[in-house]
Structure 1
Amino acid sequence: MTKRHVRLPPDAEAGLEALVTEVDERLTAARTEGGESTCEVVQDVLVDLHGDREAYERWQSGKSVSAAERVRLQGYDPCNSTLESEYYAEKDEERFERSKHLQWLWRQFDATPMADNIAFALRFREMLANHLFDEVGENVRIFKGVTFSYGHNITIGDNVVVHDDVHLDDRGKLTVGDRVSISDRAHVYSHDHDIVDQTEVRNYHTVIENDARVTYDVMVTAGVRVGENSVAGARSTVTGDIPAHHVAVGQPAKAVRVKPGFEDDVTFEEGSLTDNSEERELDYTLPEGFVSFDEFERPPELSKPTRRHRER
């Protein structure tokens, strides 16, 4: 092993524990009727984390603030924010409302200096993950700059490590098993766009099984299964299922060998990875009366029938 346990000084540890416990309890209470809303909790915590209590109280009391100050102070309220996933037509509106507020707290916490204090930040994010994700195991370590589509379609097992600047797309559904490692700048997707009509989205269930490693700068495409104890090599593009105990590398990734010590456990499946994403596609329905928005405004001659439309 190449890591050691690190402890904060007692006073810092006490302060950390007090804050994490307080925010955890307030977010839990916000799910009950009659108390603070999640939105109110997030706003209040962010005001203090960013050291803006004096200016905020001055603004709330009706005293003069500059236009820039007002925009900054309003920005602590997640109801005054928009996220890219807010535009997704098929999202679960009820679940997204709370997820959006928790995402805003997560992202704005990462913009504070405390986000670089690893001992503090890992504990704070683990607490938030227990409120944001669908399911979370024990001892989850999530580093800085990790982003999600919603958060509430993610399940993560025990002893998982997610490193800096990872994107976990859960527009579909994402399941991460126990003891998984996802390295810096990896992108794991659960949705895709039609090759002809990019406004047509398909959602999938993407799975990373127990003990798998998704290494540096890897892209895992929607609907892929990264098998148990397998490795996706650095900067690979994984477009098919990686068999258990296999190592896959390249663009697109191909299986190149079985991990040393596991040769007797599996038969080596050399070469291209099998795309089984269709069996993991997730159906969805759009709200009644939904009016679509085409941000591209493509000319009609480019909007030819897609494969899905032709099959109907």
Structure 2
Amino acid sequence: MLERIRSGLLYTETDAAFRDPLRRAELVFAYNAISPAEPERRRQVLERIFGSLGERAVLLSPFHAAFGSNVHIGDDFFGNVNLTFIDDVDIRIGDGVMIAPQVTLATTGHPVHPALREDFRRFSEPIVIEDRVWIGSNVVVLPGVRIGYGSVIGAGSVVSRDIPPMSVAVGVPCRVVRAITDDDLRPRMSEV
């Protein structure tokens, strides 16, 4: 069954029940209740939730996860409030990634035809977010997407296709609008 799930084939809630021990719902709940004044304790709980967690990772409360154990986060990560991981399969986040508020990373979807949605039938495909990516507020990343190195995803986007490295992409559906170039090294506002 695990191979079926990892292959992106349809599976049901009943099929997936054997994976319930991998869910970290109680730990996620506990993390969201820990004061920000206790960073060491917060880190210890995150290490128990996620499959792997890099150095200097910051995740603001609250956050949500279907499992938690399928999330792998690199070094120097920043996740803002209300980050949701629908991690029925792996979500791999590289180093130096910044994620704004209200973002959903969803590895799982459901068939369009209602006859195929019996017993919550679904499919899952991994998400990969490469190093140095910035994802804006209210973005949804759908199953099977890879966001390339250094890219920026504009606020409110729905990412349903891979985004190449060093790109600015926005919209519903999310599309590349331009490359990131050396011109982007200039300060945003002129100094006074």
TM-score, L = length of structure 2: 0.80
- Candidates 221, 239, 242, aligned match of 2:160: 239
SS at match of 2:169: strand
Structure 1 portions without partners, runs of 5+: 1-86, 264-312
* 164 and 122 in structure 1: CA distance in 2 versus 1, 3 angstrom threshold: farther
2-side partners of 1:123 and 1:183: how far apart?
23
* Alignment check: 8 A CA contact 1:122 1:141 kept: no
2-side partners of 1:144 and 1:201: how far apart?
28
* 2:180 matches 1:259: yes
Structure 2 portions without partners, runs of 5+: 1-11, 185-192
Q: How does 1:7-156 map to 2 (within 5 A)?
A: 88-89=13-14, 90-91=16-17, 92-96=19-23, 99-107=24-32, 109=33, 114=35, 118=36, 120=37, 122-156=39-73
Partner of residue 213, structure 1: 134
Partner of residue 147, structure 2: 226
**Cα deviations by residue, 1:238-271 (Å, 9 ceiling, x for unpaired):** 11000000110111011010112289xxxxxxxx
Indicate the structure (1 or 2) with the bigger Cα radius of gyration. Answer: 1
* 2:80 matches 1:163: yes
Higher relative CO (Cα under 8 Å, sequence separation at least 6) belongs to 2
**Structure with the higher fraction of residues in strand conformation:** 2
* Alignment check: 8 A CA contact 1:121 1:143 kept: no
CA drift at 1:173: 1.5
* Alignment check: 8 A CA contact 1:205 1:222 kept: yes
1-side partners of 2:183 and 2:174: how far apart?
20
2-side partners of 1:258 and 1:250: how far apart?
15
RMSD: 2.0
2-side partners of 1:147 and 1:213: how far apart?
20
* 122 and 88 in structure 1: CA distance in 2 versus 1, 3 angstrom threshold: farther
* Alignment check: 8 A CA contact 1:245 1:262 kept: no
CA drift at 1:123: 4.0
- Candidates 79, 95, 103, aligned match of 1:178: 95
* 121 and 215 in structure 1: CA distance in 2 versus 1, 3 angstrom threshold: farther
* 2:123 matches 1:202: yes
SS at match of 1:164: coil
**Cα deviations by residue, 1:153-185 (Å, 9 ceiling, x for unpaired):** 110000100001111111122111101011000
2-side partners of 1:160 and 1:218: how far apart?
17
1-side partners of 2:146 and 2:13: how far apart?
24
**Structure with the higher fraction of residues in helix conformation:** 1
Runs of 4+ in 1 over 6 A off after TM superposition: none
2-side partners of 1:106 and 1:161: how far apart?
16
1-side partners of 2:168 and 2:183: how far apart?
11
CA drift at 1:142: 0.4
Partner of residue 8, structure 2: none
* Alignment check: 8 A CA contact 2:28 2:63 kept: no
* Alignment check: 8 A CA contact 2:51 2:68 kept: yes
Partner of residue 9, structure 2: none
1-side partners of 2:77 and 2:41: how far apart?
15
How many percent identity over aligned positions?
Answer: 25
- Candidates 186, 192, 198, aligned match of 2:109: 192
* 166 and 122 in structure 1: CA distance in 2 versus 1, 3 angstrom threshold: farther
1-side partners of 2:95 and 2:171: how far apart?
25
